[in-house]
Structure 1
Amino acid sequence: MAPRPEEATPVLRRAEYAQATRQAILDAARELFVRQGYFGTKVEEIARTARVAPATVYAVGGGKHGLLRTLIESGTTAEDIAGILATMKAIEEPRELVLFMVRATRVTFERWADLMRQVAAAAPQEPTVRETQRIAHESMRGGLGYAAGRLAEMGALREDVDVDRATDLFWLHLCNSAYFIRTDDLGWSLDESEAWLAETLPRALLAHP
């Protein structure tokens, strides 16, 4: 039996409040992780920024590690990921697919670079953060592998490049670490990085770039 409207309204309000509280905690955690680093952020600071009790942070987010993992997993399951995969499936021209991968990873990097930089800094010292980083890497590598498979289906790969090597080449050029080298170490802008990738990656992958 469905609840009467007067009974359903308080339930909906509680659900909306719970969702708003969860989002406030996640937003606070991301802000502090980016600004202070994973180790420099305390649960009490997350709670204060989100205007909740520390116990609520543990109950809703599972503490710092749980919050970081949720933030990273949200990036691997976001709605735009489905759109990216649909576009990859629809593209029929090899060079267009490679350039789409360059653009898609650039956009993703712009959105997540600040947080992933802190993940990379903390991972060597904290196994739980290292596991979170592994999840992010596996998700990205899966997408790159799918693109490599599409190129193979088109018969577009160079003779000396199979799907596994194509996946490796995508990873070598498009993973977060590669972007960090170009932007942080070399001082390239993302426009410069994208232009270089658009010239270099087709030559590395395609029989007729």
Structure 2
Amino acid sequence: MSKTVTGPDGEQRCAWCQAAPEFFEYHDNEWGYPVADDQRLFEKLCLESFQSGLSWRTILAKRENFRKAFCGFDFNKVAGFSDADIERLLQDEGIVRHRGKIEAVINNAQRAQELIASEGSIAGYVWRYEAENPPEPQTASTSPESVAMSKDLKKRGWKFVGPTTVFAFMQAMGLINDHAMGCAQREKAAQLRRSFQKPT
């Protein structure tokens, strides 16, 4: 089965783009490009945890609603959310109304503050788990690195951060270049990774 599909411009893209028209823009402009911004990294971990058991299309369609509901995923603000905020979010039809996942975001915001206090930044922490020998593109749903990060985050008290969730986070945030061989964006991702100033 081919791992690429012809995009709207006639060039090849990762085959998963064909699942929804809006995936092409997300794929071309975001997915797999390295990120060092703590707020964006925190947002992606949260959205991947919300995706658990659902499709990414559902989460992507609601992403702006999630951002509005969670103060743009400013973890310093979310860390102070109260029980009243949880009840408010459970009534918000624009997001996924799952109490456990909502509570996990608030918990993880508090854990993010602790992580930054001990490690300096979320970016510096997650980039320590960049794979030296990543699997062949789009052949795996976990990796030794995603298992290790998941285990460490759980030890630190984070929730909804299993190895598969962490691996999807790593794919999206450019810790590995998982664009398919033949995908028009694979070389762009590779160039961005080569010029990326790895946070410490």
Structure with bigger helix share is 1
TM-score, normalised with respect to structure 1: 0.26
TM-score, normalised with respect to structure 2: 0.26
